Structure 1
Amino acid sequence: MKLHDQWENLPAAHRTRFLNTRIAATDQWPAHELPGWQQPWQPLRPLILTEDAASALGHLAARMIHLAVDACLRRARTAGDLYDLLRYPRELPLLDRDRPLDHAELTACARPDILLSEGTPRFLELNISTAVAATRAVDVLAAAYHDLWDGPHLIPPPSVIEARSAHLAATLPHPDDGPPRLLIPTWTAGGRLPGLDGEAALRAYLRPSADSATRAGLRVIQASLSELRTDHTAVLYAGTDRVDAMLCPFLSDEVSDDNGGLAATARAQRAGTVRLFQSDATSLLSAKAVLAWIHQDIDLLDPADRQLVRDHLPFTLHLPRHHSAAERRAPLAHAAQARERLVLKPSCGHGGHGVVFGRDLSPTQWLRILHEELEHDDVVLQELVDADTLRMPFFSPGQDRVHHEDVAFVLSPYLIGGRSTGLLVRHDAPTRTTNGAAGSTLNPINMANSAFCNTAMLLRPPHAAPTATP
């Protein structure tokens, strides 16, 4: 399977008009949706994939996530079993330890991170959670780009928010008195969402999600987590409104000042009176140790899945911190020998924190950092991917000029209920060298490291019917 940017295959006249119109729209561009967008340079176009390629990527991602859940189920029966096995380093207030692991529940929402290497998708992590960033931005960007395009055959991917609402409407149990009551909460979490630290700003940001869920037939409640309580039967209420289900677009361990709201939600979840989309159990599957487990189990897979893993999942080796010196000997020897082709990552990290590229360090520094990390954390060693780059035009409003540069990028398809929807693309500004074919740095491609949030558009062949999503 090969994926390549199709921008140059679009008609030249349409591309020129598109870029000129995009530059003219700079002052009205939806920058308020995009953390970090207010930079000296702005990307002028999306990544372009064929509709067939995007559909095939969705099928591939869904299968990889299925294999990840299988790997967990071979080792753990409940969410608590998996939490303990991973030695998860943070408390998860909404983790129901006794809840059995379930394929459908654990894969309801995901956004894997993928590099392309000579066009081949290579999965870096799986991000199985509703707390992944940029959900709204992807929809807004795709619609904005589509409005600028005056040619044929270029379409936006399906909306992530609309697909999520449809999935909830189809899968949530209906109470006797009508459609499910869905809480879309606000909360306090300092710094994770730039510009959205206040609950009023969060409510406005989440308004499209509320409107979409209402259109899908759900009864929507918007309230702060600090307003939640349970009655004597462990039914969850937001003020006087009963809550049947709750969207969880947050990391529960980062919530503060909730006034007992998370504890009330946990009580209702354990009693089975509220459904969470998604529970904290999904965060566990994002651990990079799970990728190592897939490799450990490769001989248990059927031939097609074995080939899929070899082709699309960089070799990943789990190093638990509790292993003895004898158990560490072979992995550390491999780490020393293959330093320039390895990346060190926390097993349960996110946001690019703690990622170290072996090629950026001397042999001595590399082994010292590896030993230091193993003193307090489980880590993985992952095969370095020689990443493709994207030729991107950037516009500098302050300088009123266009600059073209090849930048490394990460492609992240959203899957809702196993079906592919929008696509997040993150890439660097033209002023920063990044990990990829052109070199590396200690900073991965992440919005926390000033990477741009962008998206992809789909190229539909003339006279082709819409491609079915997985």
Structure 2
Amino acid sequence: MAPIHPWFGDLARDHAPVWSVRQIRDALVRELRDCGTRLEQDQVPVEPFVIARASYLELYAATRKLLDLIHRTVRAEAPTLGGRLAALGVDPACGEYPLFSTNDGLEDHFWSAMARPDIVIGPDGPQFIEFNVSGAICGPAETYFFNKVFTEAYGGPEAAPFTGYHAFPARADLFEAICAQRGLPKSVALIGSPLDHHAEGSTYFDVEVEYLRSRGFDARFVPPEELPHGLGLPGRLDYPLALRYFATADWSDRGVCLDGVRAVLDAGCLLVPPQSSSLLANKKVLGWLSEGRPWMDEADRALVQRYVPWTRVVTDDRKVTDADGLPVRLPQLLKTDRKSYVLKRAVGMMGRNVLIGRDAPAEHWDRAVDAAVATGDHIVQRFVEPAAYPLRISDEEGNRSQQVDVAVVLSPCLIGGRPAGCYGRYLTSGLPGVIGEPSSGAMENVIVSERLDTPLPAATAHEVGS
């Protein structure tokens, strides 16, 4: 076993589950059956990722500060939407962002309302390798079910040796605040598709719908084929607030028509998060932060230096410094030292269009660098060697547990500025790779805090940028 990184904390195994490995495995398969989670044919975790309280809270504090900095950075690039698209190199006619709204300044509100970065633990601690800013973030339902099973498997809420924040309360709090601010009825529609999450059925969304109803909302799940009439149109708009629980790129790639969403927007529905949230998720923004902006102060630069690996937008004329401190063009550096870098398309998700230099043949890598230079739509990031976590998983039969070293990607959610649970993905082989890609075979889990004598700080809201 590899040495345990001190950031994870003391992983003493003082608490054993009260359930058997078979009971835990069967419960996870049952509860996560509609989430598209790979469990039935694979070894499953028999415990959550439990980390030190201070480390758990650091994830959310750093996420909040970096999200605010990302938000300020995009706003500072240009005062208008058109100017921001131009700065990011996006042609408005390309159709990549088809759902901008003109509804009461919606595009300048709530665009940082929901975020989930992807983080690896490098030699010096957390490193933010990308930022997902959208409503279509995996994690809320998955972590709900993992928490449910593990809490019961380890003796119930009062006995389990771990605790954590949760997404559903944070999202309900956000919706309540929006309804109160805007004078809207307490109703919300969740617009999405199970296919977006590789799920089998709508129960992926139904569990959150039921929670919202328990909080007094008139809530319902609406798939694309039921738009716009599922919200009451063309007559009365029954749901003036809706969660955009989908990525436009996913629906466009699958040939899903967006006319129903467009009709909902044009009827005045407040679709949260708005399309502008996608600008914050553009990976070029991390390149801008890493390179630095003239307006950034020392605290801003220190924050980026601490948490963001070296990142640059790939262009032919960009000059950087090589290992000997000599100036060199960026493409030349990437070709001479490919094993130190990762190439990523600026707009993408789930590990698509990500190439790890050390895993790529030199010829393939060089062609990819040339293509990135030609298109201007990629960033390059220094590779971060992930620290190993010793996780207990079941054997293939699901009868016994074994401890294996895994490389985990940690994804804390912020919803309405509140901590909202932490999603985790890993490879059972323990080898690093493009974990977000569905074909990678990555497994899922929840990341929680060790339980101490004092409870977690209250998940209070912070102002969502506008």
Q: Letter of the 2:178 partner, please give it.
A: T
Q: Among 60, 64, 67, which residue is 2:66 paired with?
A: 64
Tell me, in whole angstroms, the C-alpha distance in 2 between the residues paired with 1:205 and 1:42.
Answer: 19
Please name the residue that 1:192 is paired with: 196
| Mapped pair 1:349 → 2:344 | no
Q: Which runs of structure 2 are paired with 1:12-161 in the superposition (5 Å)?
A: 14-15=15-16, 17-18=17-18, 21-29=20-28, 30-32=31-33, 33-88=35-90, 90-96=95-101, 105-118=110-123, 120-150=125-155, 152=159, 154-161=161-168
Distance, in Å, in 2 between the alignment partners of 1:466 and 1:393 is: 25
Look up the match of 1:338.
337
1:414 maps to 413
Structure 1 residues 240 and 222: CA distance shift in structure 2, 3 A:
farther
Counterpart check, 1:466 vs 2:456: yes
Determine if contact 1:58/1:469 at 8 Å carries over to the other structure. no
| 1:331 CA displacement | 1.7
Q: What does the per-residue CA deviation read over 1:190-226, in whole Å, with 9 as the maximum and x for residues that have no partner?
A: x533243xxxx22x32112212222333322444444
1:134 deviation in Å? 2.8
Are the counterparts in 2 of residues 427 and 445 from structure 1 also a CA contact under 8 Å?
A: no
Cα distance in 2 for residues equivalent to 1:371 and 1:131: 32
2:166 corresponds to 1:171 = no
SS at match of 2:288: helix
Task: State the alpha-carbon separation in 2 of the partners of residues 186 and 114 from structure 1.
Answer: 26
RMSD of aligned alpha carbons: 3.2
For residues 258 and 389 of structure 2, what CA distance do their matches in structure 1 show? 46
Post-superposition offset of 1:239: 6.8
Name the residue aligned to 2:310: 315
8 A contact 1:156–1:458 mirrored in 2: yes
Q: Deviations over 1:300-337 (max 9, x none)?
A: 322222111111100110025xx679999722133234
Partner Cα separation in structure 1 for residue 181 and residue 130 of structure 2: 34
Aligned identity (percent) is 21
Structure 2 distance, partners of 1:281, 1:185, is: 17
TM-score by length of 1: 0.83
* Unpaired segments ≥5 residues, structure 2: 321-326, 461-466
CA gap of 1:334–1:300, structure 2 versus 1, over 3 A, is farther
Deviations 1:4-61 (A, max 9, x none): 33463342xx23x45x634333223223135222233112111112333222221111
Report the Cα distance in structure 1 between the residues aligned to 2:398 and 2:162, rounded to whole angstroms.
Answer: 31
CA deviations on 1:229-272 (whole Å, 9 max, x unpaired) are: 49xxxx9737755221111111123334548312202323xxxx
- Quick check: 1:5 aligned with 2:8? yes
Take 1:411 and 1:68, find their aligned partners in 2: how far apart are those partners? Answer: 19
Once residues 235 and 192 of structure 2 are traced to their aligned partners in structure 1, the CA distance between those partners, rounded to angstroms, is 14
Distance 1:98 1:57, change over 3 A: same
Q: Note the alpha carbon deviations across 1:404-426, whole angstroms, 9 max, x for none.
A: 22111100001111221211010
Aligned partner letter, 1:245: L
* Paired AA for residue 214 in structure 1: R
Show the counterpart of 2:272: 277
- Over 3 Å counting, the alpha-carbon distance change for 1:118 and 1:103 in structure 2 is farther
Give the conservation status (yes or no) of the 8 Å contact 1:185–1:224.
yes
| Structure-1 residue corresponding to 2:431 | 434
Structure 1 residues 56 and 101: CA distance shift in structure 2, 3 A: farther
Structure 1 unaligned spans of 5+: 436-440
Please tell me whether residue 301 in structure 1 is matched to residue 305 in structure 2. Answer: no
What SS does the corresponding residue of 1:246 show, helix, strand or coil?
Answer: strand
CA distance in 2, matches of 1:397, 1:237: 50
SS in structure 2 of the partner of residue 375 of structure 1? helix
Conserved? CA contact 2:36–2:197, under 8 Å: no
Q: Read off the aligned partner of 1:385 and give its amino acid letter.
A: V
Q: Is the 8 A contact 2:411 2:423 kept in 1?
A: yes
Between the aligned partners of 1:287 and 1:378, the Cα distance in structure 2 is: 10
Contact 1:130 1:250 in 2 (8 A): yes
Q: 1:175 to 1:238 in 2, by over 3 A?
A: farther
Report if aligned partners of 1:5, 1:47 keep a CA contact under 8 Å in 2: no
